[in-house]
A and B are shown apart, each in its own frame.
Chain A
Amino acid sequence: MTDIRSGRRAPVGARRRVSPEARRSGIGLAMALPPVVLLALFVGVPVVLAIGFSLGHTGGLNSTIASIGLNTREATSWWGTAQAYVDVFTDPRFTRDLGVTIGVTVVSTLIVLALALGIALNLRLRGGRLASVFAGLAVVPLFIPVVIASWAILTFYSGDGFVRTVFALVGLTGPTWGYTTVAVVIGSVWTSLPFATLMAISGVQSIPDAMIEAAKDAGASSFSIVTRILVPLSAIPLVIAATFTAIGVLGSFTVPYFTGPNAPSMLGVDISKYFQAFNHPQQAIVMAVVVFVLASGIAFFYVWANFRSAKKEGRV
C-alpha cells in the first residue's frame, strides 16, 4: 500500500510542484512570444542593421543601401568607424538644427502642458458648460489629419492669411508666421494638445472631492489647492503627457516640413532630406540615432512615472 501510495504520490507531488506555475508561465510566454518575435524581426533587426551601417558596416544586408548612397564611410576597425558621426557633428547645419529641434520640443511641451492643465483645472474647479466646451475643443485636433492641419496653419498665418487680414482691417500690420519656427511651435502644440488634455483631465478628475473640500475647510486658497493638491496628485499622468508630447515633437516631420522655414529646420525634416534628396543615407541614420538617444532620455521619465504609479497601486 505504502509502496503504491508513495509510487502514486511522487509524480503527483512533482507535478504539483511545477505544474500551475510552469503552465502559467508557459502560457504567458506563448502569448508574449508573437509580439516579441514580431518586434525583434521588424524593429530590432532593422535598428541593429541601421546602427551598424552608421558605424560603417556596409556589407551583408546593408550592401544595397551602401551601393546606392553617396559619401558612405566604411568601417576601419572591428567595431566600425565614427567618421560618419564626425561628419554630422562637424556640419554647422546639424548643430544649428539640433538646437532648434530641442528648443521647439521644450517650448511646445511647456505650452501644451500649461494649456492642458489650464483646461483640466478649469473643468475641475469651475466646471460648467464653457469649461466642457473648452475641453471638447481641445480634443478636436485628434480628428484632423496633421497634413491638413499643417496646411491650414500655414495659410492662416501666411503673408496673405487670416491674421494679417484682420490686422490690416484695423490699420495694423500683423506678424507673418508662415514659414517660420513660430508656425512650427503652433503646429506642434495643435497636434499634441488633445492627448495631453485627455491625460490632464483624467488625472485631475480622479482626485476625490473630499480632499479639495477638506483643504477649503482648512482655509486653503484656490491657488494653494491647485499647487499643493491637484498638480502633485496628478503628477504621474502629467509626466506621461509631457513625455509623449516631447517625443512626438522631437521626431515630427509633417509640421516642420510644411509650416517651417528651409533653414533652420528640425531633425525630422533633415533626416528625410539627407536620406532622399542628398542621398546620404549614412548621415541620415546618424541623425536618427541622435534623435533616438534624445527620445530615450525622455522615455526614462515615462518609465519612471509608470513605475511610480505601479508602486503606488502595489503592483510592484
Chain B
Amino acid sequence: MPRRCLLTLSAAAAVALALAGCAPTASTDVAAATNHAVTDASGTATVFISGDTNVQSLWTDAIIPAFEKANPGASVTTTLDLHGEHDAQTMAKLTSSVQAKEDPGFDLIDSGFIQAAGKAGLLEDVSADNIPNLATVPDTTVKAGAGFGIPYRASSVLLAYDSDKVKTPPTTLDELLKWITANPGQFTYNSPSTGGSGAAFVTTVLDKYVSDKSRTAMTTGYDQSLEGEWDKGFDELKSLGSSMYQQGVYPNGNNQVLELLGTGAIEMAPVWSDQVITAQKTGTLPSNIKYAQISNPSFTGSASYLGIPKTAAHKDVAQKLSDYVLSSEGQALIASTIAGYPVISLDNVPADLKDKFASADPSTLRPTYYSQMASDMNNLWDAKVPGQ
C-alpha cells in the first residue's frame, strides 16, 4: 500500500498522493441491501496497481484467480507500478487519454490518486446501479468516494507500545496525551504528510476540539472556513513537541516510526493495523510490541478506493470485477491476504470474519478528513508544529 511503506525519494510523492486518496469509511446507518456473488462476467480487463507488493499479491494471487474461477469467461491482467513511483506520470497519461477520448490501457485503478483523478473528471461515475454490491457498503463510506471512488478495503491506526516498559497502556486520548508528557522522549509520530499513521494521530488530537457537525463536514467535503477549529488542537500538538523523541523529531514515513519502536528508541507510537500485523509476522517488530485501539475519540481509519477511467475499453468487466471485490467472497480474500478490514457492512461478511473484525467494525471506524482538508492539515501542521 503506497500510503504505508514508502520511504524512497520518488515514493514520497506516492505517499502524498496516496494520502490524498485516504478518505472516510464510517457510517451511522447501515445499508439494508444484501450482498450477491458475481458469476456472469466475461471479457478481458486490466487492473492498474500502484502500491506495494502486498497489494500486488492481493490482486494477482487472491482476487484475480478467484474471480476468473467464478467467471470462466473473464480474464484479468495487471500492470504494476511498484510503490506508486510513477503516479504523476500515470496521472498525466490518464489525463491525456481521457481528453483525447482514448483507452488509457487499463480499466480499473487501485491507487492513491483516485481522489485526485476523480476530482479532475477522469473517472467514471459509480453507484449501486452499475456496481450492485456497493449498496451493502455503509453510506458515508460510499459518499466519501464522491461518486467515482469504489471503496474496497479499509484499515485503521492503532496505538502500539513496548509491553516490557509500558505495563498499563493508555486507553483514551486524554490518558495518552498525559502519558506522552509524563514520559518525554518516548513517543513520536511521523509527519502527517508522509504517512497515514502520523496523520491519524494529528487528526485525532485536532478532533478533540472540533464540533461533531464541523467534523462531519470536514470528512465529506472541503470547507476552509472550518479550519479555525483546529487552532486549539495545533496548540496542543505544539506543546507536545518537547515531549517527543529527541525533543521534537517527527520521522518521515510510517516505517521509520515502526523502526524506532522496533529498536527500542521509543516506547509508544501510532501505527497502521495491517503494517504492525505484517511486521510482527515477518519478524521486523519484536513480539513485546503490543497494540490496541484507544477510545474517546479513537484513531482514524480509512478506506482505499478503486476507480474506473472514463475512457476505459472494458468498463463492463471492470465494474463486474469491482462488484466481485465487494462480494462477501472478495472481502474475505482481502481479510485473509493482507489483514485488511472489510468495507461492506459486517452483516454481509462470513461468520468467522465477522468475529475477527468485531472489535474493528468498519462501520465504527472514524473517517479521516476529506483529501483537500487533509492537504491543508498537513500544511498547517508543518507551519505550526515542528521546530517551533
Contact = CB atoms under 8 A, between A and B. Distances in A.
Given A67-B120, A68-B119, A253 B386 contact: no
B265 A160 contact: yes
B272 to A, nearest CB: 18
A7 B119 CA distance: 74
Which of under 10, 10 to 19, 20 to 34, or 35 or more describes the interface residues of B? 35 or more
B19 interface: yes
Interface string A253-276: 110011001111000000011111
A158 interface: yes
Interface stretch (B128-136, B300-308, B361-369, B370-378): B370-378
A94 to B, nearest CB: 10
Interface stretch (B8-16, B137-145, B159-167, B176-184): B8-16
A262 B387 contact: yes
Contacts of A309: none
B119 to A, nearest CB: 7
Interface stretch (A49-57, A192-200, A237-245, A277-285): A277-285
A278 B376 CA distance: 6
A179 B246 contact: yes
A91 B372 CA distance: 20
B214 interface: no
Given A160-B265, A276-B17, A262 B246 contact: no
A22 B261 CA distance: 71
Contacts of B250: 262
Contacts of B116: 68
Which of under 10, 10 to 19, 20 to 34, or 35 or more describes the interface residues of A? 20 to 34
Given A70-B372, A278-B375, A159 B120 contact: no
Nearest to B8: A147
A176 B246 CA distance: 8
Contacts of A179: 246, 249, 251
B20 interface: yes
Nearest to B190: A262
Contact of A279 (B249, B264, B372): B372
B249 A160 contact: no
Contacts of A160: 263-265
24 contacts: A67-B119, A67-B120, A70-B372, A70-B376, A178-B246, A254-B9, A257-B9, A257-B12, A258-B7, A262-B382, A263-B388, A272-B16, A274-B379, A276-B15, A277-B15, A277-B16, A277-B19, A277-B375, A277-B382, A278-B193, A278-B378, A279-B20, A279-B372, A280-B379
Contacts of A272: 12-13, 16
B217 interface: no
Contacts of A227: none
Contacts of B382: 93, 262-263, 273, 277-278
Contact of B378 (A68, A91, A277): A277
A179 B253 CA distance: 13
Interface string B152-192: 00000000000000000000000000000000000000010
Contacts, number: 88
A49 B180 CA distance: 48
Given A64-B95, A273-B382, A276-B16, 20 more contacts: A64-B120, A70-B376, A93-B382, A158-B265, A159-B246, A176-B246, A178-B246, A179-B249, A179-B251, A254-B9, A258-B252, A262-B249, A272-B13, A277-B15, A277-B19, A277-B375, A277-B379, A278-B376, A278-B382, A280-B379
A250 B250 CA distance: 23
Nearest to B121: A67
Interface of A: 64, 67-68, 70, 91, 93, 147, 158-160, 176, 178-179, 253-254, 257-258, 261-264, 272-280
Contacts of A280: 375, 379
A206 B265 CA distance: 51
Nearest to A151: B7
A71 B41 CA distance: 44
Nearest to A67: B120
A262 B191 contact: yes
A68 B252 CA distance: 24
B237 to A, nearest CB: 12
Contacts of A263: 382, 386-388
Contact of B12 (A91, A159, A276): A276
Q: Chain B CB within 10 Å — which of A70, A178, A253, A273 has the most?
A: A273
Contact of B252 (A176, A257, A275): A257
B194 interface: yes
B352 to A, nearest CB: 39
A74 B20 CA distance: 23
Interface in B293-351: none
Contacts of A257: 9, 12, 252
A277 B372 contact: no
B383 interface: yes
A292 B15 CA distance: 26
Given A261-B387, A262-B387, A263-B387, A277 B193 contact: yes
B387 A91 contact: no
Contacts of B193: 273, 276-278
Nearest to B371: A279
A263 B251 CA distance: 11
Contacts of B378: 273, 277-278
Contact of A278 (B119, B194, B379): B379
- For the complex of A and B, list the 3 residue pairs with the smallest distance between their C-beta atoms, beginning with the closest: A263-B387, A277-B193, A276-B16
B13 A276 contact: yes
Contacts of B379: 274, 277-278, 280
Q: Chain B CB within 10 Å — which of A257, A261, A273, A277 has the most?
A: A277
